[in-house]
Amino acid sequence: MAVSSSAELVIDASLVRRLIATQFPQWSDLEVRPVEPGGWDNRTFRLGDRMTVRLPSAEHYVAQVEKEHHWLPRLAPHLPLPIPVPLAKGTPGEGFPWRWSVYRWLPGETLAVERVTDLRDVAKDLTRFLRAMRQADTAGGPLPGDHNFHRGGPPGFYDAQTRQALTLLEGEVDTAAAREAWEAALAAPFEGMPVWFHGDIAWGNLLVEHGRLSAVIDFGTSGVGDPACDLAIAWTFFHGDSRDVFRDGMALDRGAWARGRGWTLWKALIVLAGMTGAPASERAKQRAVIEDVLMDHRRYG
């Protein structure tokens, strides 16, 4: 069968059923249904009650499949919360051109303020998880690069993109303060030993049950390098006391927080400037993130 280009791909439950039937017929009688939200880098589907299927949505996400299958089983024993367990790796077929994955289903709902008992407990649990990840053996671990969009490297990789966004946003945000915070991030190089980082600590990749953090998912942007990229949730989700608990628990130096503000500012600016194709509702949220980052920069420098 001819293989479709990524621009023509339709990734739906019908495709998943065909892939399962041809490659893993032992599961062909299980129900397939989409998971909402289904993700951006990958499309996710339930397979029966105990598994999920994840298919890369574009070619530049394909390298994440091999990385997760290799490294997640090695990281899991060192972490205090469950993470995805790879069960099977699919191959191209049925018009789908890339490798794809079957994982064990992890129960829980994506993180939201109304689903947790106390945000401070979530902050504590998350910092415990990320500190444990930083202690895992890094030998042979994937360094920052195209596979994870350079997370774990210096935020300056996106300097030109950030400055373009600032130009586009003149008059809409405090671009002078944003440039100052961005320059501070560039002026604080990572000088420590590379450690494991997740790379996309966001509400959609954190699961909760019974009001507490219960699992961490989607390690596609993980790698070994500077953990500052894991700090963005301080401004995109936490606030007030919970942000302070997260800051204290992460136990990172002033330079790491400057770089963390840089990573957060880059993403918020390019989304607000309309450079990512994000919907207007998402762009509106980024204005508050930018304001929080700039306030934090003024407070901590």
pLDDT per position as a tens digit, 119-155: 999 999 999 999 999 999 999 999 999 999 999 999 9
> Model confidence at 2, in pLDDT bands (50, 70, 90)?
very low
Cα–Cα distance, 143 to 44 (Å, whole number) = 26
Region 114-123: mean pLDDT is: 98
> Residue 149: how many CA atoms within 13 Å on its side-chain side?
16
pLDDT tens, residue by residue, 234-277: 999 999 999 999 999 999 999 999 999 999 999 999 999 999 98
* Mean pLDDT, residues 19-27 taken together: 98
CA-closest candidate to residue 180, choices 296, 300, 294: 294
The average pLDDT across 265-293 equals: 93
Long-range contacts of 34-38 (CB under 8 A, 24+ apart): 37/110, 37/204
Strand arrangement of the beta sheet that strand 42-47 belongs to: 32-34, 42-47, 51-56, 100-104, 86-90
> What's the pLDDT at 5?
44
Give the DSSP letter string of 146-179. GGGTTTTS-GGGGHHHHHHHHHHTBTTB-HHHHH
| Look-up of token digits 């996400």 | 61
Axis-axis angle for helices 240-250, 119-135 (nearest 10): 20
- Grouping H, G, I as helix, E, B as strand and the rest as coil, residue 211 is coil
- Mean predicted confidence (pLDDT) in 27-36: 96
197 in Cβ contact with 151 (< 8 Å)? yes
Pick the closest to residue 260 from 181, 205, 146, 170 (CA basis): 181
**Tens digit of each residue's pLDDT (9 = 90 or more) over 32-87:** 999 987 667 899 999 999 999 999 999 999 999 999 999 999 999 999 999 999 99
Measured CA to CA, the distance from residue 166 to residue 188 in angstroms comes to 20
Percent above pLDDT 90 for the chain: 92
Query: What pTM value is reported for the model?
Result: 0.94
pLDDT band at 301 (very low <50, low <70, confident <90, very high): confident
Q: What is the mean pLDDT of residues 2-29?
A: 84
Alpha carbon distances (Å) from 169 to 157, 176, 269, 272, 280: 20, 11, 8, 8, 15
Six-digit token string for 165: 């966004």
